Amino acid sequence: MYSQVIAGTYFTSKDDQTVQVGENTLICIDEQGQIVRIISDREPEFHSVRQTAADQNNLLQLAANERLLPGFVDLHIHAPQWAQAGLALDRSLNDWLNTYTFPLEAKFADDQFALTVYSSLVQTLLANGTTTALMFGTIYNSSNLILAQQAAKFGLRALIGKVAMDDPTQTPEYYRDESATEALKATREFIESMLKLQQQTRTTLMPVITPRFIPSCTNELLQGLGELAKQYDLPIQSHCSESDWEDQYVQERFGQRDAEVFDHFGLLTDQAVMAHGTQLTDGDLSLFRQRQAAVAHCPISNVYFGNAVFPTRKALQAGNQIGLGSDISGGFSPSLYRNMQQAVMSSQLLTDGVNNEMDSTKRGVPDSRISMKTAFYLATKGGAQALNLPVGAIEVGKQADFQVVKLTPALTAESIDDEFERLLYQAERNSISWVMVGGEMVYQNQEGHR
């Protein structure tokens, strides 16, 4: 009666402070890839459901050293930049964009190049436990659709934007939309193509309104993108108050803050996900809460380009919606494990401060530390809520998006809480045994020892 039953111990985020453990449970999945029942070994049906699934060859039994986790939601990826992940991170944001990033993205006019990079990226994300990805493509629709096709082929849930950027003062001639009108026309065409593609696949494929960031867009383009977001009722992604330079540029151009400008153009909605936000003020965060817009916290990338540490704990306590982003390739790692670790580490630096010439009482921002449980929340439930998708948790009614991770041998754990903490600090790509999206097996680790 269930199409699949997974037997084992799982961890899932309850809220930003709490992780729920299900020891020795059955996760029952229906034909639509949805979790329809979770049965603990104390319930009377446990043995009969398990036996029926085994008889029907529908039982997936985890090994004693394996744990089930929700697949991760990565809220910020520049798909074309996968080709340069780890390059030139010693440059300023402006220099990094103009010298490295724009020339690379311009290469995606070549479909063959796009296919090679996007096929690799999609498989890499799945192998690292990421099952939902919010991504920037390039200005070229042909390669953006190749990205969508690769996501559908390998089973990644993908929300993809045609990058819109038309301001000649802030973008190079070889890589920009010809005009606001052309950018809007191309965005509309991309939306229509994606909506058609979505009907042909089981997994999520969704178009996203994507102004690159305010500096690269004219007012006319921002206005038109806001109207398209409303007309099609679509998610929006961009960058907001992401560095000193970017934050100040917007204030000089508009005499308003980044968040206010997005809001003015109808781009700060409950479907908006804004990356970085390291320079967001309390007023900006309040506007985000009023609009229920989310922040994609990108802890690795922010070390290089953010000029400050995003105050995750303060913003969560105030009620802001936050998820986690790898920001390939402002961040070098496609792994959200690596990003969760950095989120905790950066929050510790924010608490302590870093300049030893200052008195220790004035060096940092007290009470800014987050726990690994909070970081796990950001990578799963927080991201899912930002995208309004029924994923990111092992709960009845959610999609069966899972990863199975092996515990590191020879490490002791006094309690299941300790085990969880160690698992998230020690897990690497090779610790992941298999990954499932919507009940479909999308990745199996060939090198792993099972």
Binding site for Zn ion (CB under 5 A): 275
| Shorter beta-carbon distance to Zn ion: residue 35 or 250 | 250
Closest approach, Cβ 316 to Zn ion, in A, equals 21
The smaller minimum CB distance to Zn ion, of residues 209 and 275, is found at: 275
Q: How far is the CB of 249 from Zn ion (least distance, A)?
A: 15
Kindly state the smallest distance separating residue 222's Cβ from Zn ion, in Å: 17
Tell me the closest approach of the beta carbon of residue 252 to Zn ion, in angstroms: 21
Cβ distance 276 to 306 under 8 Å?
yes
Name the residue type at position 336: L
Smallest distance from Zn ion to CB 302, Å: 11
Q: How far is the CB of 72 from Zn ion (least distance, A)?
A: 18
Q: Report CA dihedral (259, 229, 74, 317) to the nearest 10 degrees.
A: 40
Rank residues 11 and 305 by Cβ distance to Zn ion and give the closer one: 305
Collect contacts of 94-102 with beta carbons under 8 A, ≥24 apart.
94/245, 96/305, 96/330, 98/172, 101/329, 102/171, 102/172, 102/174, 102/175
CA 27 centroid distance within chain: 25
C-alpha count within 13 angstroms, C-beta hemisphere, residue 129: 31
Report the nearest approach of Zn ion to the CB of residue 172 (Å): 17
275 vs 295, beta carbon nearer Zn ion:
275
273/275 with CB nearer Zn ion = 275
In this structure, what are the phi and psi dihedrals at residue 8, rounded to the nearest 5 degrees? 160, -170
Give the nearest distance from C-beta 445 to Zn ion in angstroms: 29
Torsion, Cα 270 192 392 70, to 10 degrees, reads -160
In the complex with Zn ion, which residue's Cβ is closer, 259 or 275?
Answer: 275
CB of 290 to Zn ion, least distance (A): 24
The one-letter code for the residue type at 75 is L
Q: Which is nearer to Zn ion, 288 or 420 (CB)?
A: 288
For strands 236-240 and 272-276, give the pairing: parallel
Most distant CA pair in the chain: distance in Å?
69
Closest by alpha carbon to 142, among 103, 179, 189?
Answer: 189
59-62's contacts with Cβ under 8 Å and 24+ in sequence apart are 59/4, 59/5, 59/6, 59/7, 60/4, 60/5, 60/6, 60/7, 61/7, 61/8, 62/6, 62/7, 62/8, 62/9, 62/404
Instruction: Decide whether 79 or 184 has the Cβ nearer to Zn ion.
Output: 79
User: Which tokens in the block code for residue 168?
Assistant: 């000649």
Q: Kindly state the smallest distance separating residue 79's Cβ from Zn ion, in Å.
A: 11
The dihedral built from the CA positions of residue 343, 348, 351 and 355, taken in this order, carries a sign that is negative
Q: In terms of CB distance, is 97 or 423 closer to Zn ion? A: 97
Q: How far is the C-alpha of 128 from the C-alpha of 329, rounded, in Å?
A: 16
Of 328 and 400, CB closest to Zn ion: 328
Q: Are 59 and 34 in contact (CB under 8 A)?
A: no
Tell me how far apart the alpha carbons of residues 390 and 438 are, in angstroms, rounded to a whole number: 10
Cα dist from 280 to 88, 248, 274, 316, 335, whole Å: 26, 12, 11, 14, 25
